[in-house]
Structures are given as structure tokens and as C-alpha cells.
Amino acid sequence: MSSASNSPRGPLKLETLLKDVVLHIMGKMTPSDLVNFVLTNKRFLALFNRYKNGLMVSILKELPESETMTLLYTTQLTELHPAWTLRPRAVDVQTASQHFIKLMQPNGDYDQIYHMSPAGILTLWKMTKVIDWWVQMFPTLYWRDSLANRRHLTPNEEWRLRKAIAHWWLYAHHHHGFSYAFRQKQIPKPYERDPRVSHMRRLSTCELMELRDLWAVVHNTVSNDICSSAEAVCFCQSPDGVAFVPWGHEQQRHASIVRTYMKLDPRRLRYYLLYYPNCNRNFVTGLIRQQSRAFDSDIETLSFAINRALIEREHLREIVTGTFTPTPIFGILDDTRTGVDVSRWDVDQWLNANLHRVGPQVILTRRVPRGDDGSDRPIPW
């Protein structure tokens, strides 16, 4: 049998494929992969520019984070009220060039209130490319200290990771933003009408555990790559006399500094990781203060909200079954899910995210700890 290279027609080249075939291939790519693909050939680029709106919409709708990113793009400040937290959306494609987002009302009907313009589609596209970057970097960050175990993510692991990043971004947008309304000064408590915990109640236990797994990686990344700078040290500690020293380690401030910088959303944290990794502390703190004067007013609260949602579910399971069933420990990677009946923990999200207290609850009110941006100036109280 002769090879394709010996065929009278010659080898089949990608750029000679029919238009419909090329468009179908493009529709199966992630945003970052598609951008890299179309830049390799003028014909591909011309096809993308001609059909980009339809391509981008079809790709975005197939991604696991599509629903959460739609919430992020269309949310209103009034939805931060506990009674109106994150009402579901539906994307309705009216014509080839117009895309509408409908907001679900309490009675289940949809009111058309958003027109998704090409500029809005492009905004979601760029935000999804940020998620692509985190997916690409995740193995490097996760296996930072174990190069021998580093590998590519499986499709299922990437699916879970993309959803977790989107949930992190949505929470950061509302409750870690540089300017956010309804700022809560108290630590979230179980069974309270708190929009921070309401975000978490809408997630299944699987999604909560995956988000907590991602949050641990974010903590380690911020600690090592943002809140540590090269400083001169004793030669007994480093042969070169220089090492990355955690900010505020001598004053026991490093933990608070890290949890303050964890308020950066995925896009802002990506920016600092790309352009200011292990940069001079005074320079970074000055830069962050220019962007927000109140950045050090508090620390991140996502870890509190995740734990509160998990505590509520354990408590309710005990009331229903009469026995205490702890939540198993697992995360994003397949290796951590061995022996866990994942199907049991993937369908227990609370559609009604604002439940009232169950049974007597005596929980002391605690204020969210003050943040620390790492600067040496006195903190005004």
C-alpha cells in the first residue's frame, strides 16, 4: 500500500481543508488554543475574523465555566442582597449577530434585560483566556516542589479546575474587589443570611472541595511568588548569600500578608505573577496602594465561606440521618478521589441558598481580621 506522500495528489495539508471542516476544528478549541491556531495561517485568520462572533459564542457555551462567567459579567449590585443572590441566567441567541442574556425571576419566568453585544462577547472571551492561563500554569504551581510528579491534567481534571477558577473569580468580584458594596465586616456564620456563604451554598460538596483545593494552591503561589523577595542572607542559609525571604516573617506578619494578597482576582493575580514575581516589597506595596487605598482593610473571606457551607451540610446530615458523617477529603486531581463515592457529593447543592437556622446555635460574632499589605508604615486604627 502506497503512503500518502506517494499519492498523485500529494500529502494532505491542513490549510487545504474545506472551510466547514476548519470551522468545526476551530469550534473544538479553547480560546487560547484558537488564537494560537489562527495566527499560524492567513487563511485561518481570515476565516476566524469572518465568523468570530458565532465561533466565540459556540466555544464559550461549551466550556464548563460558561454559566459562572455569565453570572460574573451580568451580575447587578442588588443581587448581593441575600434574598436575590445570583439568580440563574439563560443565553438566548436571537439572530446570528445578537445574543441576549435573560434573568430568571422568582416565579421562574425570564425577563430579557441584557443585550450581549459583540464587545460583551469579546470581554467574556478575554476573561476565559485568563482561565486558560491558570489551567496551563496549574501543574507547575501544584507540583512546585515535586518535579518528578509533574504532569499534564486529564480532561476531567481540567474540567473541574476551570469551574473552580470561575467560582473563585465570581466570589472575588463580589467580596474581594477593590470597590465592592455590602462589605461584610463580620466573619461568616452558619445559617446566616450572608451573601458570601450563599455563594458557596449553591455549589455541590464536590465543587466546594475542588474550590478549597484550588484555594490552597493560590495560597502557596501568593506566599512564594508574590509575598517573597530576594534578600541578602547568611551564607549558611544559601551558598549565594541571596534567598527569597517571606515578607514580614520576622514580625509574624507573613500569614496575614498572604491572606490579604489572596483577595486579588484571577486576572489581577495573573498580572502580578507575570510582571512582578518576587519583586521588591516596597515597590509592590506602593503599586497596590495606588490601585486601592483600602486594600489592607481586611483579609480574604473565601476560606471562611467554604468552611461555613461545609459545616452546615455536616450538621444537616447529622439531623437527617442521626449519625455524623464527615465530608471526605478530595480535590481536583483524580488521584485524590480514589475510594470516594463522588456521585453522592455532586448533587447536594442548595438551590435555596438562604436557609434559616436549624436548631439552637450559639456562635460568637467575630470581626474579619485586619489585612496587611506588607508595608512598614503604621496602621491607622
Q: Classify residue 55: in a domain, yes or no.
A: no
DSSP states along 173-225: HHHSSSS-SS---B---TTS--HHHHHHHTS-HHHHHHHHHHHHHHHHHIIII
39 is written with which cell numbers? 495566527
Q: Where in the sequence is the domain holding 222, given as residue range(s)?
A: 153-381
Query: Coil, strand, or helix at residue 243?
Result: strand
43 is written with which cell numbers? 487563511
Burial 176-194 (b: 16+ CB within 10 A, else e): beeeeeeebeebbbbbbeb
In sequence order, the 6+-apart residues with CB closer than 8 A to the CB of 225 are: 273, 277, 278
Summarised one tens digit per residue, pLDDT across range 289-330 is 888 777 888 899 999 999 999 998 888 888 888 888 889 999
Q: Classify residue 114: in a domain, yes or no.
A: no
Query: Coil, strand, or helix at residue 85?
Result: coil
Are 260 and 371 in contact by the 8 Å Cβ rule? The answer is yes
Q: How many CA atoms lie within 13 A of 291 on its CB side?
A: 15
Cα-Cα end-to-end distance for the chain: 83
Q: Classify residue 249: in a domain, yes or no.
A: yes
Query: Coil, strand, or helix at residue 281?
Result: helix
DSSP β-bridge partners for residue 244: 230
Q: Classify residue 128: in a domain, yes or no.
A: no
Q: How much is the pLDDT for 71?
A: 82
Question: Which residue matches cell numbers 452558619?
Answer: 190
Q: Classify residue 96: in a domain, yes or no.
A: no
Q: How much is the pLDDT for 264?
A: 93
CA 57/CA 40 separation, integer angstroms: 22
Q: How much is the pLDDT for 177?
A: 73
Sheet architecture: strand order including 89-93: 89-93, 99-104, 110-116
Q: Classify residue 243: in a domain, yes or no.
A: yes
Summarised one tens digit per residue, pLDDT across range 135-154 is 999 999 999 988 898 999 99
Q: Classify residue 223: in a domain, yes or no.
A: yes
Question: Which residue matches cell numbers 500569614?
Answer: 255
CA 341/CA 126 separation, integer angstroms: 36
- Number of Cβ atoms within 10 Å of the Cβ of 207: 18
Name residues of the chain where pLDDT drops below 70. 1-12, 76-116, 178-183, 232-242, 351-365, 377-381
Does the predicted model carry a pTM greater than 0.75?
Answer: yes
Number of folded domains that form the chain: 1
Q: Classify residue 299: in a domain, yes or no.
A: yes
